Amino acid sequence: MRPLTLPITVPITLPISLPIRSGLAGLALSTLTISATAAPATAETARHSIRYASVDSCRVKDGTEMPCHTWRLDLLDGRRVALKDAMLWPTNAKGKVDKSSSAPLTVSGDGESVAYFRKSDHRLVVREFHGKVRVMPKTPLPRGIGMDSVWLDMSQDGSRLALVYTDDDGATHGRLFDVERATATGTIPESGGFSGFSEDGSAVLLQRDAGANTTGLSVHDLTGTELAGAVPPQIVANNGPWALSADGRTVAFVTGGGKKAALRFYDVRTDQTAGSVRISLPGDTSPDTIDWTGEHEVTVHVTDYESARDEVTVLRIDTRTGTTRVRDRYKVRPGVYTYQSCGG
């Protein structure tokens, strides 16, 4: 099936929560359960095997909802995979299980790897497409920080992993890992937020407090050393999320929504805006996530929460022309507590 070109005339709804990225058809069956069938993926989406990861919601005696059962990965071919060795609930700073939230989990953009905390020993692991598990160094968290303050992110190719956490003052910190070597490469310096890896995984983009209610952006290598930083103009600072290209300097972001949206660019090294292209997004939506997925391509997720079931639309945008194609569109199954959509 050929990809559609926007503007879109059919009604759209979309979902997302924390973006996950995708794929693991080759995970060992000893840790997975597979069920369900559906139509095969189109050629446009065949490189991704996961649409989203989710956990179910169960109502407890006091009437509140809590995550339950196990992490499940909904695949493009319609199957659902249960990732049984992934922790469902995180532990807090005192080591006690916190059943009010779900444990961190993320999938690389190329669909080759998934990162999570292992249920049996609480180790941070990355499972590769063909089943090999790489165990990250022990005690990745500093004393006084619980797993419930953590989120995970991976580079597009799954070769780099970030463990990010917030301290009691709300500042963001973290550690960066080389997945193949299962070693830490550096730390994420204190910042106002972690925006993600560059497209090639060689750098990370951070937010920082620039004073006077302004937001700065900085680029760091995998040791945590700052490569570039600036306080961008308000049109940049007020329009996250942001994505860093493989050149380590060009940031993509979107302004506006619907048919009045524009994909814009900013150079962190020169502190200059670097052009824009007009794009069209479904309805009045704005991006929930944005990722560089090629030299001249970004992928964005947009979500419409108005329907009974969230629906996600994943868009591929040519950064030179603004040509926008629908890569995927789906509804999230009912009864989920939280879900993470495949990213770039």
Q: What is the pLDDT of residues 118-143, one digit of tens each?
A: 999 999 999 876 678 999 999 778 88
pLDDT of residue 130: 63
For the chain, the domains span 4-341
Strands 124-128 and 262-267: unpaired
Per-residue pLDDT of the chain (344 residues; tens, 9 = 90+): 333 333 333 233 233 333 333 333 333 333 343 333 333 444 444 444 778 889 999 999 888 999 999 999 888 888 888 999 999 999 999 999 999 999 999 988 777 788 999 999 999 999 876 678 999 999 778 888 999 999 999 998 899 999 999 988 889 999 999 999 999 999 999 999 999 999 999 999 999 987 777 899 999 999 999 999 999 999 999 999 999 999 999 999 999 988 899 999 999 999 999 999 999 999 878 899 999 999 999 999 998 877 778 888 999 999 999 999 999 898 999 999 998 887 66
Q: CA-to-CA distance for 192 and 73, rounded, in angstroms?
A: 31
Sign of torsion over alpha carbons 92, 94, 95, 99: negative
Q: What is the pTM of this model?
A: 0.84
Q: CA-to-CA distance for 76 and 142, rounded, in angstroms?
A: 38
What class does CATH assign to 4-341? mainly beta
pLDDT of residue 114: 85
pLDDT of residue 86: 94
Rama region for 62: left / alpha / beta (φ>0; ψ in -120 to 50; rest): alpha
pLDDT of residue 36: 36
Cα–chain center distance at 9: 28
